[in-house]
Every structure is written in C-alpha cells, then in structure tokens.
Structure 1
Amino acid sequence: MTSLSRALTIRLSLLGIVLFTAFIGAVIAFALITEDPGVLRNDVTSQMIQQSARAASGSAVQVEKTAGLSRIERASPSLWYLVSDGRSLVEYAPELRPTLPIDIRLDGPTIAAQMRIGGENALAFDVIEKDGSRIIVATRGGQPGWDLILGYYLRAIAGSALAISVVFGLLIAGAIAMSVSYIGARLRSAAEAAARIDPKAPRGLLPTEETPVELMPLTTALNAALDKIAGNMEVQRRFMNNVAHELRTPLTVMRGRIDALPNDQVRLALTTDVSRLTTIVSSMLQLARLHSTELPFEAMQLNGIARAVLADLAPLILSNGADVALEEEGERRSLIEANEATVRAAIANLVDNALRHARAKSTIVVRVIDGAVLEVADDGIGIEPSDRPQVTEPFNRMSPNSTGAGLGLTIVRDIMAAHGGTLTILGRPGGGTLVRLVFPPREDD
C-alpha cells in the first residue's frame, strides 16, 4: 500500500537535497569566476604548503611533502615557495624567488599577516601559527589541479555550508510537516464526511468547498458514484415494494380457492407452496418498508416485548412440539430506545428460525440480559463458522430443505442496523446456534 505522506516526504527531501547541492555549486562557481586566477592558484598552493610545514619548538622548520604538494610541484615548472620560522628556512626553487614588493624579514619573528598580489606575477604571502611557532609561507607560480581547487573551496565554506544546511533542512522539514498535515487533514475531512453518509441513502455528500484542487476529480467521481448507487437502491426498493403489494392480493385469492379444492392431497401441496410464497412476499414488503421509512423510536422494555412475542407465537411453538423457555438476567427494568413493531418482528424471526431448524423435542431458550441484550439459543444442527457471515444475506437459506424464504436473518440484520445495534451469530458447545442482539444503551441511562 502506497503512503501519500511517505511519498511526499521523499520527494520534498530529494528536492531539498538537489536545491542545496545546486546552491553550493553556484557559490563555488561564483567564487571561481570572480576570483583572480593567479591568486586562486596561489591560495590553493599556499594551503598545501601550510599542511606540509612542520615547525616544532627547538628544531628547524621542515616541509614534509604531502601528495597534493608533490602533484603541484610536478605540474608547476614556475613554482616557488618559501617556509621560514625566523630561525630556519626551507625554500623550493630559490632561483625563481620573485622580487618581493615589501621588505619582509625571512630570518626573524614577524607579526601574523596575509598579503595577496594578483596579476601576471601573482604572489601569496601568509604568516601563520603552526605547532606553537609563527612561520612565514610565501609562494607563486603554483598550478594545482581542479580537484585540489574544489577541495580547497569546500573546506573553506564547510562551516558556512553546515550552518546553511541546518537552516535549510529545518525549513524543508517544516514545509514537509505542514504539507503532510494539510493533505492529511483534507483527506481525514473527506473520510469523516464519507463515514457520515447514511448507507440507506448514500447520496453524494462528500464536501467540495474545502477540497484541494488535486482531490476534486476523486471527490466528484465518488459523489457521482454515490448518487448512482442511491438511485439504483431507490429503484430496487420501489420494485420490491410494488411487487410485494401486487402479489399480496392474488395470493390471498389463490389461498381461498385452494381451500375450496376437494382433493386433500392436492390442496395440502398447493397450500404449502402458497404459504411459502406468502412468506417471501411478506418478507420483501417488510424489507422495503425498513429501507424506505424513518422508524419512530420510543423508550420500552425489551423484557416485555420478548414475553409478548412468545405469547403470540405460542400456537406455532405448540404445533412444532418444541419447548421454549424465557430467561431474564440482570436488571429487568432497563429501557431501550427502539421501534416496537420492528423489534417484535426481529424476535419473531429468530424464534421462527430456531423452530424451523430445531430437532424433535428440542429446547429453545430466549434470554434477555440487563434489558438490552437478547439471545435466542437452540440445540439444532447449528451453522458452520465459515457460513455465518453469509446467512444474513437475502435469500440465503441455511438448509436446502428449509421452507423459509431466506430473508428472516436479513430482516433482523437491517432492523438492528436501524437501531444502531449489532447482530452476532455464535455456535453452542453442545451443538446448535446462539443469535445475540445487542441494543445500544439509552443516552440518559
């Protein structure tokens, strides 16, 4: 996965390095262009001589030639230089000694000084402190290579370059942090707006007022896609609602005509088929209403609703020969904010599912915990863990021999989503299934 912040940081860092390198190059180029060539060469040669000079106290001055000074000597037929500590003197090519423009004591102490004479016969004269002694270094005619010249300048500007690099690095780091923070804030704002979109009405509500120009194509495309999805969902809801409404009357008429058939075997078979069609149509209508209307909520006791549903389902429970027990644990007087009709439908669907998949003489337990959690447990065949994520999808029946419509758990899922609660399907240690509904607590509790 590509990180936008990381990519931006790398690119800005590389840009900073390139700009800093270009700046250093420009400084060196400016110095080389504006400097007198003779003075520049003598400066580098004098630096090489100073590095080679040795003036230990009590001994004669020496020049231990470095590789750089040796290269200059080989490349410079007109090279002359002199090193003196006032007591001893080392001179290279004394026959090429120029006429000095001022009277310089080469055999005694002198004050620290630096003098540069440009032109055709450029001369460099330095008095420096070396090894606790003051020595004189004078030179002319050196021809150092460009590598030595560049090295000299880089060493000369090292301190300034380090200070500039620290300031420049801080500026680049600040710019990176601000840029990443700005882009991250805009992306988080868009993500938060997307999270607030109602899944039941996903219209294009992503903000465009504060969206950066670079993100506008993505935001616009997402808004258009959300509008299309919302339109398709609305068409699907109207279709399901219309189909369910249109089928209810023909099914009722058909059921009346089937009941009048004289053949008991044919009548029983057709009644079973019509009952299944009626269940499917009723479930479709219930889903359509869930998605197309705003549910009214009020405070109510989940314990009381569970008792009422089981009382309504008593004939169905008796006809299936199952035992159903209601258990109430914890605080029984707690209230939830809910829509009573849909909560009743959810509990009824869970009990009906349990009855459909229960074994003979099985026991179904409806348990209410602290007035906000409802569990329906059976000892039936159970649901494999790998199949549990799919059982809440529409028309997904848990058994090929089931007579249900495959919409019961879908309806329960959507009811819990409308309440802001959760639906969890679990297995039981001794076999069977446990379905848990968790309703959110009331805000004033």
Structure 2
Amino acid sequence: MRKVRPRSLQWILIRRLILLQAATLLLFIVLCAAALWIANPSLLIDNEAAVAAVKDAVERDKDGGLIVRETEDLAAFRRSFPNVWYIVRDDHGQSVRSGTIPDVYTKDFGGLLGEADHATIGFSDKDMRPEAYIENASTRAGAVRIIAATQSSRQETDGLEINISATVEVARYPDGSRNWERALPALALVVAILLLPIVLVMGAITLVTTPAVVRRSFAGLVETVRQAARIDIGTRAMQLPVKHVPQEIAPLVHAFNDALARLAQGYDRHNRFLTDAAHELRTPIAILRTRAELLRQEPQSARLLHDIERLSHLAQQLLDHQLLDRPSDQREIVDLDDLVRRVAADFAPLAIEAGYDLAFEPSPDKTRVEVNVLQIERALANLVRNAIEHGGGAGTITLAIDRSGGIEVRDDGPGIPVDERENVFEPFYRLHPQSRGAGLGLDLARQIALLHEGTIRILAGSWRGARIRMELPVRS
C-alpha cells in the first residue's frame, strides 16, 4: 500500500498566497481596463485645460461682439495659473486677448492650422518661447479659434516642469468610424508592453517575499517542533513554549503540554509504586532468607533458598531501575579505569565464591568520561551478575577497558545464541526460565548506556563464552 505523505502547510499557504496575489493583480487590471473603457477619459495638460476653461466662457454681447466672460471656472484657473494668456478669434476677424502674449503667437498661423481641429505649438529646447495649445472650438459664440498657454516664457517655471502626454490613434473606416478589427491586436500589444514589466516585477517580488514571510511566520512553530523532538523519558516534565507559536496552533501546544504533564504524573506514580513495592518486599525476603538458612540442609530448603534469592534479586533490580530518573546534571568527569576497578573489587568475592577467577584489564591510556557514577556502576554490576549467573560456574570473568571508552565483560560460559542476542535486552526475558535473574539486568544496562549517549551490544567472534561491550563517549 502506498504511503500517503503529509501535506506541507507552509507550501499550501505559499501557493495559495501566490495564487491570491496573481488573481488580485489580474482583477485589478481588468477593472482598470473596464473603467477606462466605460469612462473614455480625456486627459488634459495645463495648456489644454486653459483652452477648455476659455472655451466655456466665450460668448457674444448684445451688439454681436466677441467677449470672454470671467466665469467661475476661468477665475479659478487664473488663481492656479496667474501667467495664463489666451487669444480668441472668430471667422470675421474679431478677437479677444488676455495676459502677456508672446509676439510669435500674435501672427497668423496660416490655413493649415485653420483646418486642424487642435494642435500643440512648440519650439526647440534652447528656445525660451513657451509651448501653446490651439484649438478650433465650437462655442456659444459660434466657431472660434483659441490659442492659450499658462506661461509667457519658459523662465516662469518653478524649476521643474514635467509634461506627460499620450496620443492613441485608432485605425478608421472611410466614414470616420473606428476600425477595431485592425486596432485591437496592436492595442493588445501596447497594453502587454506596458503591463508586462509591472506583472514581472510584482510576480518576482511575490515569489521571493511570500516564502520568506511564511517561513518567518512559522519560525516559532519550527522551534517548538525541535524542542518537542528533544523530549524523552528523562525530560518528560518539559513544557513546550507558546510565546512564538501562531495563535491558531497555541491550543494544540497547550493540549500537548497538558498531555505531557498527565503522562509525567502517571509515570511518577508508577515509579513510586514500584519503589515502594520493592522496599516492602525486601523486609519479608530478608526474614524468609534468615528462616530458610536455619532449616536443616535438605533438597527442599536449597530450592527455597534459590527462590528467595530470585525474589531478592528482582527487588534489587526494581530499585535499580529508579536510577534512570537521575537528572543529567549529576554527572561528573571520572577516570574510567578507577570506576571499573571499584566494581571489579566489589564483585571479586562473589565471583570467586561462585567458582570463577575475576580479571581486570585497564586501558593502555588514561580514559576520562562524563557520567553519573552510580548509574554506570549499577549497569556494570548487572553485566557482571549476568556473567556470574550464566558463565557456567568456571573459567575467568574479565572486565577490559580500551582507549575508545569501551568496557567489555567477558566470560568462558556457553555464550548467547545469535538469534537471542536482541531478545536478551528485552525486560523480563530470560534464556533459562529457571535462572535466578528476573530478566531486567541487560535492559537496565542498555537504558543507562542510552542515557549517556552510549551503546551496548553483544560481540560476535570465534572465542568461547559471551562478550558484552558497553561504549561511552570519551572526554578529550
């Protein structure tokens, strides 16, 4: 069955934000085009606006003379452009003038401008004469020609003058109507040329900034995930911070923290129960051992002593498991040779009594490790007890150290079958059901090694017996 990969919320948000911004840009373009199409705006520069203001003010007096009334629009335009001037002429030669008019505009511009509907008159860049706008307009006084400008000279500018004009000429039929079949392809090309840079720039900015914004928004959540990954049995009381977590994710983090607190409480209750039970068992076990030793030496009393020893060993291993809860700040840097030598000295009488020789092989170099001494001593004690229990009652039990931080416990017994070398590290698993052990010694040793970022494994080779190797990180 194909495994379903979880969807990335980050990339879902990035894709949707990019699509949303693209749709918004497209809608904006469409709305602008529709507004321009419906409104059909006429954009006027200053000189054209001056002609438009004058055109609305042209009238005839009662004698038929040409006049320009001071309308509200024209007065407002004068306030905005104090240097405005204009000339209004009709077909009968009457004219009205206002403002300081440059000499060049007092001349007759000929028949061509008389036929043109409108035109802009300009001069070279070095010429100080201003541009003007001329239009043949239809007014209340009839057809007139209006020339107007907002300046009498280019020296009257405020220091910077920007003129923007655009003329779009659409192909026409002979009757003057627009030929859109020919005009639309060219118009579409012009629009594409104008809009393509905007679309490319906005698209590039969107593609670059959107992932960065989303990743920054998720930074607090990513850090919370990293802290959650560091939680283990030794840090079960840890709580995930919610300060930098998005508001929508905060309830999930709070629920996770509550679950951690409940698990920690349950685990502590379980541990207290095991500890109390083990302590309670030790007293009746000690009483039973004393009474059994007072019995006459009979086969039944020997088996009873054997069963009592199993109970005592089980109670001790249950207590040993509580060592796993020791905090990591109780570690210290020690010489590995000294630590292992103490364990070997403690177990030498027990090994000799069981029929073994006990050997200790120190490291050729000084090996220093940072460990919880009590935990490592209990782990080694369980490995040595395991060797005494399963070593066959003869031969040599050896504790050897090398410069890489490895500790090997060797015996000359029957060894551990290859297919059982993983099973023996499981709790309560025993190779021989009638043995005195409870099946917790190797499990405890492995957990202690893992707490110290170390390893423990059973070595394979042609030698006789079992070799269990525990490796601890060496401090330089």
TM-score by length of 2: 0.63
Equivalent residue letter for 2:233: P
Asked if 1:16 is matched to 2:21, the reply is yes
Task: From the CA coordinates, give the structure whose radius of gyration is larger.
Answer: 2
- Paired position in structure 1 for 2:197: 163
| Deviation of 1:11 (Å) | 1.7
- Paired position in structure 2 for 1:269: 303
Aligned residue runs from structure 1 range 75-114, under 5 A: none
- Paired position in structure 2 for 1:422: 454
Asked if 1:172 is matched to 2:177, the reply is no
Q: Which moved more, 1:355-364 or 1:202-211?
A: 355-364
Distance 1:393 1:295, change over 3 A: farther
Distance 1:156 1:297, change over 3 A: closer
Asked if 1:242 is matched to 2:242, the reply is no
- Paired position in structure 2 for 1:438: 471
- Paired position in structure 2 for 1:254: 288
Equivalent residue letter for 1:422: G
- Paired position in structure 2 for 1:224: 258
Asked if 1:187 is matched to 2:192, the reply is no
| Deviation of 1:283 (Å) | 0.8
Q: Which moved more, 1:372-381 or 1:281-290?
A: 372-381
Asked if 1:409 is matched to 2:442, the reply is yes
Equivalent residue letter for 1:425: R
Asked if 1:342 is matched to 2:389, the reply is no
- Paired position in structure 2 for 1:110: none
Aligned residue runs from structure 1 range 260-409, under 5 A: 260-262=294-296, 264-291=298-325, 296-322=330-356, 324-332=358-366, 334-359=367-392, 361=394, 364-370=397-403, 372-378=405-411, 380-382=414-416, 384=418, 388=422, 391-409=424-442
> CA separation in 1, counterparts of 2:349 and 2:192?
95
| Deviation of 1:261 (Å) | 2.3
- Paired position in structure 2 for 1:57: none
- Unmatched runs of 5 consecutive residues or more in structure 1: 37-100, 105-123, 128-135
Equivalent residue letter for 1:4: L
- Paired position in structure 1 for 2:149: none
Deviations 1:132-172 (A, max 9, x none): xxxx9967446757xx8875553221122211112211331
> CA separation in 2, counterparts of 1:269 and 1:224?
50
* SS at structure 2 position matched to 1:425: strand
- Paired position in structure 1 for 2:36: 31
| Deviation of 1:375 (Å) | 2.2
> CA separation in 1, counterparts of 2:420 and 2:307?
31
- Equivalent pairs, count: 347
> CA separation in 2, counterparts of 1:264 and 1:386?
36
- Unmatched runs of 5 consecutive residues or more in structure 2: 42-113, 118-167
What is the root-mean-square deviation of aligned Cα atoms in Å?
Answer: 3.4
* SS at structure 2 position matched to 1:313: helix
* SS at structure 2 position matched to 1:206: coil
Percent identity between the two aligned chains = 29
| Deviation of 1:188 (Å) | 2.8
Distance 1:393 1:179, change over 3 A: farther
| Deviation of 1:364 (Å) | 4.3
| Deviation of 1:252 (Å) | 0.5
Deviations 1:293-327 (A, max 9, x none): 77744443221232232233224333554555433
| Deviation of 1:437 (Å) | 2.5
| Deviation of 1:226 (Å) | 0.6
Q: Which moved more, 1:261-270 or 1:230-239?
A: 261-270
> CA separation in 2, counterparts of 1:189 and 1:257?
61
> CA separation in 1, counterparts of 2:390 and 2:185?
87
| Deviation of 1:249 (Å) | 0.4
| Deviation of 1:239 (Å) | 0.4
Equivalent residue letter for 1:427: L
Deviations 1:349-379 (A, max 9, x none): 1122233333575554422112733122456
Is 1:368–1:375's contact at 8 Å kept on the other side of the alignment? yes
TM-score by length of 1: 0.67
| Deviation of 1:414 (Å) | 3.8
> CA separation in 2, counterparts of 1:151 and 1:26?
20
Equivalent residue letter for 1:13: I
> CA separation in 1, counterparts of 2:388 and 2:175?
109
Is 2:170–2:178's contact at 8 Å kept on the other side of the alignment? no
> CA separation in 1, counterparts of 2:29 and 2:341?
84
